[in-house]
Amino acid sequence: MIGLALIKINSIYIAFTLTVLILLTSIAHKQSIQYKTESLSAISRKILLNILKMIINFNIKLLYILMVMMLALLIILVTKDMAIPILKDTITLIVVVMLTTLFSILFLNPIAQRLGLVDNFNKDRKYHSGSITLIGGTSIYIGIVIGVFLFMTLDSNSLTYLVCSSLIVVLGVVDDAKDLSAKFRLLVQSLVAVLMCVGSDNYIHNLGNILSFGEVNLGALGYAVTVLAVIAAINAYNMIDGIDGLLGTTALVTFVSMGFLFFLSADITNMKLTLILASALIPYLISNLSINQKLLPKIFMGDTGSMLIGFTVVWLLIQGSQPQAEGKLSFSATTALWLIAVPLMDMARVIIVRLIHGQSPLKADRTHLHHILLQLGHDKRMALLRIFTLSAFFAVLGIAMHVGHFQDVTNFLTFLMGFALYFWRIRTLSKRLL
């Protein structure tokens, strides 16, 4: 049995290595045609440099190849000795939540138009024309509530989530209608974060061994860190909601990735919640991207949606990355960073740049990644595809490091290097616009 297992594992790695070699050989063949007169070492250096440039330039084809390779390896390694449980109500859950969200969109759209709950064209910050209703977040919320009540156990944890998310939705709807001040929004978001900590004991208290000196336990300081994390996540997803489909697809990557990790750790409760969120996002994306306007009218998330998504993301990340009553984790705190890498990196970069220039970190401008890609000549769909691909690549990389049992400090340092590379690359792209 041991011998067969070793042969199976070795065959997996041999197949994976051969795939990598085929990829490199194809690239090398193209390069050798260009550099026939140069030495082998010079050609090798140029091949490696070109591969690095392709990664730095967010080359979509290469990122897709790398993601497919990593996903294939992950699936083989994870399922080779695992009996995958099939949830009987999975298909029912998906259908019910999708239909609930779909009918909510159809029902709320004419009401929102009559009430004036619309996003009007703004030449300074908007990339659309006409008035689009802001009911995406509310429709998703209705789908979530129905999904939780029908398919999840209503314990203190799930009820606390529903209460907190309901408060966030009320805040978002009022903000969409009345345009509340930033200070008031931050106050309510902070109070919701405190309620989350107190009502469900869901807060950040362990960062793992990110400094290689042992586990970093925050103690009572964890409550303050959690409040900051909730505010940061809500605003990170609000900031990235700049072009059609961007918030929805980025959130979809995060929820699907978390769902996979919850599945690996047999955390069925949180896996169901991620499935509910992902299912609720699909009708919204069909509507927001105008995939079938005969079926669904075009709508936007609004602040309701970005706040709800941001809060739910941080709720689930804390659930998965913090030791629960039985002491087990679904993933580490450092893995959590990879699952929200693009919104987190983009927000951090924008805030740093604003502070360097003496501006308010909350001031709206056109320095986000999607703004830069559009100003460089990409259309909205290509900008969306590039950012979605980058988000998926980071998430798959984080999952791969989790499955590979990388140490927390290695994972954290790799993330910091990824952020430094991201910051440098966006800075070089921004210089082209000057």
- How much is the pLDDT for 24? 44
pLDDT digits (tens, 9 = 90+) for 401-413: 999 889 999 999 9
* Burial environment of residue 328 by CB neighbours within 10 A (0 to 12, 13 to 18, 19 or more): exposed
Mean pLDDT of 358-379: 81
Bind-site residues for Mg(2+): 238, 303
Using one digit for the tens of pLDDT, what is the confidence trace for 147-192? 999 999 889 899 999 999 999 999 999 999 988 888 899 999 999 9
- What pTM was computed for the model? 0.80
Contact predicate 310/236, CB 8 Å: yes
For residue 10, what pLDDT band results from cuts at 50, 70 and 90? Answer: very low
Binding-site positions read: 238, 303
Q: Tell me: the pLDDT tens digits for 105-134? A: 999 999 999 888 898 755 444 454 568 999
3-state secondary structure of 267: coil
At residue 21, the pLDDT reads 42
Q: What is the dihedral sign for C-alpha 268, 270, 276, 277?
A: negative
Q: Which residue has the tokens 């400094």?
A: 211
Q: Which amino acid is at 336?
A: A
- pLDDT band for position 256 (cuts 50, 70, 90): very high
For position 130, what pLDDT does the model report? 60
- 185 CB-side CA count, 13 A: 22
Higher pLDDT, residue 416 or 84: 416
Burial 167-195 (b: 16+ CB within 10 A, else e): bbbebbbbbbbeebeeeebeebbeebbbe
Q: Which phi-psi region, left, alpha or beta, contains residue 202 (left: φ > 0; alpha: ψ -120 to 50)?
A: beta
396's CB contacts (< 8 A; 6+ apart) are: 67, 70, 71, 74, 257
> What are 49-75's pLDDT values in tens digits?
555 555 555 555 555 555 555 555 555
pLDDT at 1: 41
Confidence of residue 295 (pLDDT cuts 50, 70, 90): confident
**294 or 79: which carries more pLDDT confidence?**
294
Q: Are strands 118-119 and 132-133 parallel, antiparallel or unpaired?
A: antiparallel
Q: How many CB atoms are closer than 10 A to CB 429? A: 16
φ, ψ of residue 427 to 5 degrees: the values are: -65, -40
Alpha-helical runs (H) found in 265-407: 268-288, 302-321, 333-339, 341-356, 369-375, 380-403
